[in-house]
Amino acid sequence: MGTITIVGTVCVGVITASCIGFWKEHPNLSDPMAAVINGDLARLQSLESAGTDLNAQYPNRFNWTVLMAAIYFQRFDIVTNLIDHKVDIRKRDASGKTALMWAIEFEDTNTVALLTDRSPQALREGEDWTEIAAEIECDPHPERWHKLLDSFLKGNNIRPSQH
């Protein structure tokens, strides 16, 4: 009943490792993005205290948010901090992906679990569950996502459309 099922999915490619080099080689990155790249949670917290908008999107970098970058660079401590500070997880990057979609694409089960646990309302209201289902079916092991998300979907009465 709450199981995610989709047929005929076309998977979208992952951003390549060459992106990492770009991020590290360009010193003009915004301070929040630099803090994420360097895994500097204390700096990110300092920037937030000084009024930096952690929901800002960066058009010159895929229109990512700081949360998306933290997922990409596997900075779970920063991801946790951002989610605890209620950043907007519904924002979409230039390709239309949300933080949840990026976590699934990068096989980050910890972040998916954290999002469903600490941001259920935002997920209920802001995600396109048909797109999420497509993302899951692109994974070589979709059953891991079914285990993580089925109870969330059932508990929130969400039924992804089937194609």
| Alpha carbons 98 and 22: distance in angstroms, whole number | 22
| Alpha carbons 35 and 38: distance in angstroms, whole number | 5
* pLDDT, tens only, 9-63: 444 444 444 455 554 555 445 589 999 999 999 999 999 999 999 999 998 889 9
Q: Which CATH number does 18-155 carry?
A: 1.25.40.20
State if pTM tops 0.85. no
Write down the domain spans for the chain. 18-155
* pLDDT, tens only, 74-122: 999 999 999 999 999 999 999 999 999 999 999 999 999 999 999 999 9
Phi, psi of 64 (to 5 degrees): -70, 155
Burial zone of 41 (CB within 10 Å; 0-12 exposed, 13-18 middle, 19+ buried): middle
